[in-house]
Amino acid sequence: MKKRIIIGNWKMNPRTLEEAKNIYKSTKTVADKLKSVSVVMCPPFVYTSTLLNSRTETTVKIGSQDAYFEEQGSYTGEISPVMLKDLGVEYAIIGHSERRSKGETDEMISKKVALCLEVGIIPILCIGEKVRDEGGSHLDFIKDQVKNSLNKVPKKNISKLIIAYEPIWAIGAKEAMMPESIYEMSLFIKKVLSDMYGHDEGISTPILYGGSVNFRNALDIFNKGKIDGLLVGRESVNITGFVELLKTVDTI
């Protein structure tokens, strides 16, 4: 059975290493008992080594919240995919809307995705529109965003890619996007990928949803939205809520 992917983006939380270890341990205890869910936790980079070194036998993977597009060099404050791979990191969130809003371009993101794939890090490419309109211009926006963010990625490397669709207007909102609309967007993104790389590659690429996800709406999002997983933000550092979300998804 294909496992559903749940990725927790901790963002700049929590404040201390002890809190980070507690979130990781509490989540891991539950996640290791699940049969149909694959869990990836993306803490702030300063906690990564400690959490990786504290792992014993576990199914939980550790990811990064970003990666740079060069292997090494004079890039103060940046972390390369090569360094992440050496630590044992297996995933990296690339192109999150919070980074795009600070000036990160599709060209930069494409380089990051390509290098991650080249060194063996699985990139989680984030895409999403700021607003929706009845004329459908947001579809053109998403199509261009996907194409431009992958223009450095050859077909031979695309099989490890994960795409996280996060409509910016739904992030931090009171309600998530309607599940039926999530399904439509998932199909649209797979169509764009199929046109770029071929039918099999397009259909097999996991599409995740992110934006105001919690344990109360997760079941509906999966059943009606028919997505492959979730990218969870603020709820991923809420131990009680995130654990309940994992248990809920495991029942599907």
CA dihedral 130, 77, 164, 92 (to 10 degrees): 180
Q: Which of 20, 23, 27 is nearest to 44 (CA)?
A: 20
Amino acid at 184: E
Whether 166 sits among the annotated catalytic residues: the reply is yes
Residue type present at position 25:
K
Catalytic status, residue 96? yes
d(CA 110, CA 118): 12
Sign of CA dihedral 131, 136, 139, 145: negative
Rounded-to-integer distance, Cα 61 and Cα 224, Å: 27
CA dihedral (229, 233, 239, 241) positive or negative: negative
Of the listed 96, 129, 138, 235, which one is catalytic? 96
**Catalytic, out of 70, 166, 199, 201:** 166
Residues carrying an active site annotation: 96, 166
